Structure 1
Amino acid sequence: MIRPRGQRPRPPAPPAPGDVLAEARDLGVRLGTRAVLTGVDLTVRAGEVLALVGPNGAGKSTLLSALAGDVPPAEGTVSVHGRPATRWSAPELALRRAVLPQSPLLSFPFTVEEVVRMGRAPHAACPATTPADDDRAVAEAMAATEVTAFAARPFSALSGGERARVALARVLAQRTPLLLLDEPTAALDLRHQELVLRLCRSRARAGDAVVVVVHDLGLAAAYAHRVALLHAGGVAARGTPAEVFTERVLSEVYDQPVEVFPHPRSRALLITPRREL
């Protein structure tokens, strides 16, 4: 990898537990003439997994993009690592947050390893990063997501679930303190859904902040430290899963009667639609 000269951005210092790595204050986002988010307040802290949940069209993906600095606010502010997102250059921002979009698309026949190695691009200008560091980050990310066995295969030849894991490996290889993941479990089987959420918890234990959009409320309840429940472009409830996932709140937001009860062994919350028998 060619390492350019000139002004070289530096990676941030490792955050301390509880440090605010991203924050939205009175955030409003418009797409065209439509208000997608209105009056959103949200804080993302190091050492936690924050799940964004809510019905289709609630604004989850837009909020994630705004926290990444990819969608400009129409009102309010978004800060990343204590500075307005708009004041970071693109290289500086890429060293501070990594983003997994819903549908990673590639039109060229890159191999799996080449796709994962793209996550190291922001580090190319960092004087302290060596090729050995890049190799180690790529190898560890592929091992964590269980894609090492097909490292030489074309990305385009993979199944949807395999592509999703390779895209996550690229994000992990970027090694930023803030991970923003949009529906990383959507295309995955049961085993790999659990794998991805365990990886989220592992990154949080290591001191990172992870924001993840999920539709499976059971997974959010089992793995998230905090939850933000979005509805109609605002935050309807925030707190721990036990605080947010109540039958009354979920039934109102999803317009569907639900039941919430503890698992008989683990005591984790189970959430299911209420069905008339």
Structure 2
Amino acid sequence: MKRPSGMARPLRITRALGAVRPRGRPVPPAAPVPGEVLAEAEGLTVRLGAREVLADVGVRVRAGEVLALVGPNGAGKSTLLSVLAADLPPTAGCVRIHGRPASDWSVPELALRRAVLPQSASLSFPFTVGEVVRMGRAPWTSVRPEDDGAAVAGAMAATEVTGLAARPFSALSGGERARVALARVLAQCAPLLLLDEPTAALDLRHQELVLRLCRERALAGDAVVVVLHDLGLAAAHAHRVAVLRAGRVAADGPPREVFTRGLLSRVYEQPVEVFPHPRTGTVVVLPDRAAGPSA
């Protein structure tokens, strides 16, 4: 299948990345101050059809931290991430990005301020890995294109996909695709990263790699929001966790304070054991298999 003549990339992809530019040049954001709130939701409610997916949710995302969204299936984690990214309008409540209502930003302005990794990535045309990662630079085309090469190379090296640069994206394994998709997000160089289950398709080594990258971006001053199912990864790498249950925030705070046996057993409807790792002191969460399932 050949790429249509004159089409560098599908329009639907470039729109998502902010390559469709309005009149005037978008201005990149200033470097965030440590602790600055880069995204927040207040009184957030989302209804999809007859179902209330989120109800009166409030959350703040600060520069310099990794915030993990955890909770059982259907708790509203991915929906909350989509609303924080301004990809899904709320039914009620307010979402602000970099201090302004999300709806006040144009698509190109948003693309310079937040980068989004969805749960799965698919492409309709046979792009190479290098071309996919370079798509992350689309928001910078009219701003600082001279930085593209270094940003792309750095993102590919960080996610260990440099050796895949010439391969078709469609020929990759699920784990390789996940890392290439993350490289595209990193190449976008936005100060707010919103990642939906970035470790789902990865082996143990690359799960740790991805979460270390999240910590490094936070250490550099960015804000990272990551949806995780693995409570061990969240406890080890997140500065703060928000536990969602049935569309509400059941708890929000540092993992050592939030991850308690009582709370997690109630939220997941499964008895768990919570104890400190004997060497690192990091919270460890395991199913309490001796207790059996919760009534």
Q: Structure 1 residue 104 and structure 2 residue 136: aligned?
A: no
Asked if the contact 2:252–2:258 (Cα under 8 Å) also holds between the matched residues in 1, the reply is yes
4+ residue segments displaced more than 3 Å: 1-6
Asked if the contact 1:46–1:208 (Cα under 8 Å) also holds between the matched residues in 2, the reply is yes
Asked if the contact 1:3–1:125 (Cα under 8 Å) also holds between the matched residues in 2, the reply is no
1:8-23 maps to which residues of 2 (within 5 A)? 8-23=25-40
- Of the three residues 276, 279, 286, the one matched with 1:265 is 279
Partner of 2:213: 199
**Structure 2: distance between partners of 1:243 and 1:141:** 34
C-alpha displacement of 1:6: 4.6
Q: Structure 1 residue 247 and structure 2 residue 261: aligned?
A: yes
- Of the three residues 236, 253, 256, the one matched with 2:270 is 256
SS in 2 for 1:237: strand
Q: Which runs of 5+ in 1 are unaligned?
A: none
Asked if the contact 1:22–1:82 (Cα under 8 Å) also holds between the matched residues in 2, the reply is yes
C-alpha displacement of 1:33: 2.0
- CA shift digits 1:242-267 (9 cap, x unpaired): 11100000000000000001111111
SS in 1 for 2:88: coil
Tell me the TM-score normalised to structure 1 length.
0.97
Structure-2 change in CA distance of 1:210 and 1:276 (3 Å): same
Between 1:259-268 and 1:165-174, the stretch displaced more is: 259-268
- CA shift digits 1:138-159 (9 cap, x unpaired): 0000000000011000000000
Asked if the contact 1:3–1:124 (Cα under 8 Å) also holds between the matched residues in 2, the reply is no
Partner of 1:180: 194
- What letter is aligned with 2:201? A
Tell me the TM-score normalised to structure 2 length.
0.91
Q: How many residues align?
A: 274
**Structure 2: distance between partners of 1:3 and 1:234:** 35
- What letter is aligned with 2:160? E
Q: Structure 1 residue 84 and structure 2 residue 101: aligned?
A: yes
**Structure 1: distance between partners of 2:67 and 2:164:** 31
Structure-2 change in CA distance of 1:264 and 1:62 (3 Å): same
Asked if the contact 1:50–1:228 (Cα under 8 Å) also holds between the matched residues in 2, the reply is yes
Asked if the contact 2:20–2:108 (Cα under 8 Å) also holds between the matched residues in 1, the reply is no
Partner of 1:30: 47
Structure-2 change in CA distance of 1:139 and 1:3 (3 Å): farther
- Of the three residues 160, 171, 182, the one matched with 1:157 is 171
Between 1:204-213 and 1:3-12, the stretch displaced more is: 3-12
Asked if the contact 1:4–1:124 (Cα under 8 Å) also holds between the matched residues in 2, the reply is no
- What letter is aligned with 1:91? P
- Of the three residues 222, 225, 238, the one matched with 1:224 is 238
Q: Which runs of 5+ in 2 are unaligned?
A: 1-7, 9-18
**Structure 1: distance between partners of 2:91 and 2:21:** 35
